[in-house]
C-alpha cells in the first residue's frame, strides 16, 4: 500500500466568497479515516461539519469556493482532480448519505430506477443486471418485499424505508468510504437504532471507512471508533471514543457531554447549557475561538489562539488549559459515565 | 425470500386503476377544465369537419351575392367578394389553431431548454436573461410586426415571429422553477453519486420543472391566437386571400355598419377559442397544484 490512510485530510481550508467578503467555513481541519473505521464528526450547527463533508466530494459551487490544503484519498489529492475524474470518484469510491431522506430522492422516479441509475453510472451492465442488483441491495438494507418496493415512488415509502433506499443507493457501487451527514437526525429513535445497526453491519461486511457527521453524542458513543469535535471551522479535540467520553479535555466537549439529558437524572435539575451562540464567521474571536463562551477563559485565551496538540497518543486538544483538565479527568468520569 | 404472487400483482393493478379513476373524477369535478375543454373540442371538431359542412370553398368568389346577410344558404352570410363567410371563418380558425399550436409547442420546447440551461449555468444565465429582458422591453405585437415585416408575411414567418416573442416568458417561468429544483437535496445527492451535469439537467431537473410549463403552454396557445389575429388584422400576418380570423375582421372593418356578420362571427370565434384555452389552463393549474390534491401523502 502506497498510502497510510484511506482518507487523510491535511490542513483543509474551505472558504466562500460572499457579498460581504471571504468567509472561511472550515479553517485548517486535519484528520484521517482508515478502512473499517467509523470516525464521528461532532459539533453544533454551523461549525463546519457538513462543509467538511461536502469539501471531500467537492460538492460545493466551485466558482464561489476556494479550497486550500489536501484531501488525500488512497494517496491521491482529490482537490487536484479534474471534474471528470471527480465524477469517477463520487458514488464509486466515496459516497454520501444525506440528512433528510424525505428530500434526498427524486420524487418523479421509482426508487428502483434511481438505484439502478447509480449502478449504471459507474459500471457497465445490462438493465436487467442493474435491476436484480437493485433488488438485492434493497434486501440487504432490510427493506421487506424488495421486488415490489423497487417499483414504488419515494412518497410511497416511510422515512426509515427511504433512508434505507438512500443507503442502498450510496452502497450501489461498493464504495470504500461512506460519508453519512446526520443520517439519523430526521428519523425517530427506533428507526435510528435500526439504521445505525445496518450501517455497522454493512461496514463489517465490506471493510469500508465511515465518516459519521452528527450532533448526537449517543450515536457517537454507540458506533464510532474515533471522534473529531469541531467548533467554528476548527478541530478542537480528537480522540478515540473511550478516551473522549472518559476524559473530555476541551471545555466545549465537556459542555456538549453535560448537555445530554439522562433518563435517570434529577428532573428538577436544569439541563446544562453552553452559554451564547456560535459566533458568525464574519466575527471570529481573536484568540481561542471558544473563549467568549468558555467558563475557564482567561486573558491568554482571548488573545492567543491555541494550537491542536497531542496530549496523549490517543488524544489531541486545542486548549491552553487542557493539562489542567487532565487531572480533573477522574472527577468527570464519575459525573458522566453512567 | 418473498415471491410476488398473482394476488400482489392484482392488488397493485387495482391501486393503479383507483388512482386513475380518482384523477378522472377530479377532472370532471373541475368546472373550468370541463368547460374549457368542451369549448375547444367543439371548435376543433367544427374545423375538422369543415369540408363536409359547407359546399363553398373559402376562396370561391361570387360577385353577384356580395354582402348577403346570414341565411340557410350562407349560414354566416357572405363577404364583400361574395365568399361564404362560414367556410372562411372555419378555415381561418384552422389557420389560427395551427399557428397557435405550433407556437405553443416550439416556444415551450425552446423555453424549457433555455430555462434549464440558465438555471444550471450562471454565466449563460446572465447572457440569455439579458437578451430576454431586451425582448420583454418591446411590446409583443410591435416586435412581431417588426420580425414579420423584415422577413415577409407568410404563415411560417408569423409562427417564427411569435416563437421569438413568447419563448422568453416560458424560459423565465422554467428558470424560476428549475432554480428551486437545483437546490433540492436530491440534486446534491445525485452529484454525490457522480452524475454528470447533462444527466442532472435533462433527466432529473427537467421532469421536476415542467408542471408550470404545461399551464404556460396553454396560455401561450391562447395568446398567440390573439396576436396572430392582431397581426393579420394589421396586414402583417397571413396574407390575403388566404382566410385568417384577423384578415376577415380587416375586410369587415370597412363595412361594419352594413354587414355586422363579417365582424361578429370571426370575433366570436376568436373569443371562444381564447376563452376555452384560458379556462382549460386555469383548470389545469388547479388540477396540477399538489396543494389541491386529495391524494396527499
Structural domain contains residue A128 = yes
The Cα-based distances of A7 to A10, A96, A259, A314 in angstroms read 10, 14, 31, 19
Structural domain contains residue A325 = yes
Reported as a single tens digit per residue, the pLDDT across A294-328 is 888 888 888 888 988 888 888 999 988 887 777 65
Residues A187 and A116 in one domain: yes
Hey, is the C-beta of A161 within 8 angstroms of any chain B C-beta? no
Q: Looking at A202, A229, A256, which one is the last position of a domain?
A: A229
**Residue B117 near residue B201, CB atoms below 8 Å:** yes
Residues A195 and A307 in one domain: no
Strand-pair partners of A213 = A41, A181
Residue A55, SS3 per DSSP: helix
Structural domain contains residue A2 = no
Residues A149 and A249 in one domain: no
Structural domain contains residue A46 = yes
Predicted pLDDT of residue B222: 93
Eight-state DSSP code of residue A278: P
Put simply, the answer to whether A145 touches B188 (Cβ < 8 Å) is: no
Distance CA A287, CA A302 (A): 4
Structural domain contains residue A174 = yes
Structural domain contains residue A323 = yes
Among A302, A315, A182, which residue's Cα sits nearest to residue A238?
A315
Among B56, B52, B48, which residue's Cα sits nearest to residue B79?
B56
The segment with the largest mean pLDDT, out of B208-212, B270-274, B285-289, is B270-274
Q: Is the pLDDT of residue B280 over 70?
A: yes
Residues A210 and A329 in one domain: no
Residues A213 and A256 in one domain: no
Which residues touch A192 (CB under 8 Å, ≥6 apart)?
A184, A219
Residues A65 and A161 in one domain: yes
Predicted pLDDT of residue B152: 85
Residues A197 and A290 in one domain: no
Structural domain contains residue A237 = yes
Among candidates A87, A139, A147 on the partner chain, residue whose Cβ is nearest the Cβ of B194: A87
Mean pLDDT of B21-31: 82
B70-73: list long-range contacts, CB under 8 Å, 24+ apart: B70/B261
Query: Mutate which of A63, A102, A106 to test chain B, going by most B C-beta atoms within 10 A?
Result: A106
Reported as a single tens digit per residue, the pLDDT across B91-122 is 989 999 999 999 999 999 999 999 999 999 98
Among B228, B218, B234, B220, which residue's Cα sits nearest to residue B277?
B218
Q: Is the pLDDT of residue B1 over 50?
A: no
- For chain B positions 230-259, those within 8 Å of chain A (CB to CB) are none
Cell of B239: 396574407
Q: Exposed e or buried b for every residue in B246-274, given b needs 16+ CB within 10 A?
A: bbbbbbbeebeeebebbbbbbbebbeebb
Q: What is the largest CA-CA distance in chain B?
A: 86
Q: Looking at A179, A214, A229, which one is the last position of a domain?
A: A229
Predicted pLDDT of residue B87: 87
Hey, is the C-beta of B188 within 8 angstroms of any chain A C-beta? yes
Hey, is the C-beta of A90 within 8 angstroms of any chain B C-beta? yes
A99: distance to nearest CA of chain B, Å? 9
Residues A253 and A141 in one domain: no
Q: Along the 338 residues of chain A, how does pLDDT read in single tens digits?
A: 567 889 999 999 999 988 888 889 999 999 999 999 999 999 888 888 889 999 999 998 888 899 999 999 998 999 999 989 999 999 899 999 988 888 889 988 999 999 999 998 888 888 888 989 999 999 988 888 888 889 988 988 888 888 889 989 998 888 999 999 988 887 888 888 888 888 888 888 888 999 999 988 888 988 999 999 999 999 999 999 999 988 888 999 988 888 887 777 777 777 788 888 888 888 888 889 988 888 888 888 888 889 888 888 889 999 888 877 776 554 554 455 44
**Residue B2 near residue A145, CB atoms below 8 Å:** yes
**Residue A171 near residue A118, CB atoms below 8 Å:** no
Predicted pLDDT of residue B295: 45
The Cα-based distances of A43 to A7, A231, B208, B226 in angstroms read 21, 6, 35, 61
| Domain span holding position A137 | 7-229
DSSP character string of A114-156: HHHHHHHHHS---HHHHHHHHHHHHHHTT-SSHHHHTTS-GGG
Structural domains of chain B, ranges and CATH numbers in brackets:
6-173+209-292 (1.10.3720)
Counted domains in chain A: 2
Residues A276 and A216 in one domain: no
Residues in chain A with CB shorter than 8 Å from the CB of B1 are 139
- ipTM greater than cut 0.85: no
Cell of A310: 497531542
Hey, is the C-beta of A82 within 8 angstroms of any chain B C-beta? no
Predicted pLDDT of residue B68: 78
Q: What is the CATH number of the domain that holds A84?
A: 3.40.50.300
Cell of A70: 489536501
Hey, is the C-beta of A96 within 8 angstroms of any chain B C-beta? yes
A90: distance to nearest CA of chain B, Å? 4
Residues in chain B with CB shorter than 8 Å from the CB of A117 are 195, 203
Q: Looking at A229, A245, A266, which one is the last position of a domain?
A: A229
Predicted pLDDT of residue B67: 76
What average pLDDT does the structure give for chain B? 86
- For chain B positions 111-170, those within 8 Å of chain A (CB to CB) are 122
Distance CA B105, CA B84 (A): 32
Residues A225 and A236 in one domain: no
Residues A236 and A220 in one domain: no
Distance CA A145, CA B1 (A): 8
Residues A218 and A86 in one domain: yes
CA A207 to chain CA mean position, Å: 18
Structural domain contains residue A1 = no
Reported as a single tens digit per residue, the pLDDT across B115-174 is 999 999 989 999 999 999 988 888 888 888 999 889 888 889 999 999 999 999 999 999
Q: What percent of chain B has pLDDT over 90?
A: 38
Put simply, the answer to whether B194 touches A107 (Cβ < 8 Å) is: no
Amino acid at each position: 500500500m502506497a498510502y497510510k490512510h484511506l482518507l487523510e485530510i491535511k490542513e483543509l481550508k474551505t472558504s466562500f466568497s460572499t457579498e460581504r467578503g471571504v468567509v472561511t467555513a472550515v479553517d485548517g481541519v486535519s484528520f484521517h479515516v482508515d478502512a473499517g473505521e467509523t470516525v464521528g464528526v461532532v459539533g453544533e450547527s454551523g461549525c463546519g461539519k457538513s462543509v467538511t463533508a461536502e469539501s471531500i466530494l467537492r460538492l460545493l459551487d466551485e466558482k464561489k469556493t476556494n479550497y486550500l490544503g489536501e484531501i488525500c484519498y488512497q494517496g491521491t489529492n482529490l482537490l487536484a482532480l479534474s471534474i471528470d475524474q471527480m465524477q469517477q470518484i463520487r458514488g464509486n469510491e466515496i459516497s454520501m448519505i444525506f440528512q433528510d431522506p424525505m428530500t434526498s430522492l427524486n420524487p418523479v422516479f421509482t426508487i428502483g430506477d434511481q438505484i439502478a441509475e447509480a449502478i449504471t453510472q459507474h459500471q457497465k451492465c445490462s438493465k436487467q443486471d442493474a435491476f436484480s442488483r437493485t433488488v438485492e441491495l434493497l434486501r440487504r438494507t432490510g427493506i421487506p418485499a424488495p421486488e415490489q418496493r423497487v417499483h414504488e415512488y419515494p412518497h410511497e415509502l416511510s422515512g426509515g424505508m427511504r433512508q434505507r433506499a438512500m443507503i442502498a443507493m450510496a452502497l450501489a457501487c461498493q464504495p470504500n468510504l461512506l460519508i453519512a451527514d446526520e443520517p439519523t437526525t430526521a428519523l425517530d429513535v427506533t428507526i435510528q437504532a435500526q439504521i445505525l445497526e445496518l450501517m455497522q453491519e454493512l461496514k463489517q461486511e465490506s471493510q469500508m471507512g465511515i465518516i459519521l457527521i452528527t450532533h448526537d453524542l449517543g450515536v457517537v458513543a454507540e458506533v464510532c471508533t474515533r471522534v473529531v469535535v469541531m467548533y467554528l471551522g476548527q478541530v478542537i479535540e480528537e480522540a478515540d471514543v473511550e478516551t473522549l467520553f472518559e476524559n473530555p479535555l476541551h471545555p466545549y466537549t465537556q459542555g456538549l457531554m453535560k448537555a445530554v439529558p439522562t433518563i435517570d437524572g434529577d428532573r428538577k435539575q436544569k439541563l446544562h447549557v453552553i452559554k451564547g451562540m456560535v459566533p458568525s464567521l464574519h466575527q471570529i474571536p481573536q484568540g481561542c475561538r471558544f473563549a467568549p463562551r468558555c467558563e475557564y477563559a482567561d486573558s491568554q485565551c482571548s488573545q492567543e489562539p491555541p494550537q491542536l496538540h497531542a496530549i496523549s497518543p490517543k488524544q489531541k486538544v486545542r486548549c491552553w488549559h487542557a493539562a489542567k483538565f487532565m487531572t480533573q479527568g477522574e472527577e468527570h468520569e464519575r459525573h458522566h459515565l453512567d | 425470500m418473498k415471491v410476488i404472487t398473482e394476488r400482489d400483482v392484482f392488488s397493485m393493478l387495482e391501486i393503479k386503476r383507483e388512482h386513475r379513476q380518482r384523477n378522472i373524477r377530479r377532472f370532471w369535478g373541475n368546472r373550468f377544465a370541463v368547460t374549457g375543454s368542451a369549448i375547444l373540442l367543439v371548435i376543433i371538431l367544427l374545423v375538422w369537419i369543415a369540408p363536409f359542412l359547407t359546399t363553398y370553398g373559402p376562396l370561391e368568389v361570387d360577385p353577384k351575392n356580395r354582402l348577403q346577410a346570414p341565411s340557410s344558404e350562407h349560414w354566416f352570410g357572405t363577404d364583400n367578394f361574395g365568399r361564404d363567410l362560414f367556410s372562411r371563418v372555419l378555415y381561418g380558425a384552422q389557420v389560427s389553431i395551427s399557428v397557435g399550436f405550433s407556437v405553443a409547442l416550439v416556444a415551450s420546447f425552446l423555453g424549457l431548454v433555455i430555462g434549464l440551461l440558465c438555471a444550471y449555468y450562471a454565466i449563460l444565465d446572465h447572457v440569455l436573461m439579458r437578451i430576454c429582458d431586451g425582448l420583454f422591453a418591446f411590446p409583443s405585437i410591435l416586435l412581431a410586426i417588426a420580425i414579420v415585416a423584415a422577413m415577409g408575411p407568410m404563415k411560417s414567418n408569423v409562427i417564427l415571429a411569435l416563437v421569438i416573442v413568447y419563448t422568453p416568458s416560458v424560459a423565465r417561468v422554467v428558470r424560476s422553477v428549475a432554480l428551486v429544483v437545483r437546490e433540492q437535496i436530491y440534486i446534491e445527492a445525485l452529484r454525490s453519486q457522480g452524475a454528470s451535469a447533462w444527466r442532472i439537467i435533462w433527466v432529473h431537473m427537467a421532469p421536476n420543472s415542467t408542471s408550470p410549463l404545461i399551464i404556460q403552454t396553454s396560455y401561450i396557445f391562447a395568446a398567440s391566437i390573439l396576436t396572430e389575429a392582431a397581426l393579420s388584422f394589421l396586414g402583417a400576418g397571413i396574407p390575403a386571400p388566404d382566410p385568417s380570423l384577423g384578415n376577415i375582421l380587416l375586410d369587415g372593418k370597412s363595412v361594419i355598419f352594413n354587414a355586422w356578420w363579417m365582424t361578429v362571427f370571426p370575433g366570436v370565434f376568436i373569443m371562444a377559442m381564447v376563452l376555452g384555452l384560458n379556462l382549460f389552463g386555469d383548470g389545469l393549474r388547479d388540477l396540477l397544484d399538489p396543494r389541491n390534491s386529495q391524494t396527499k401523502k
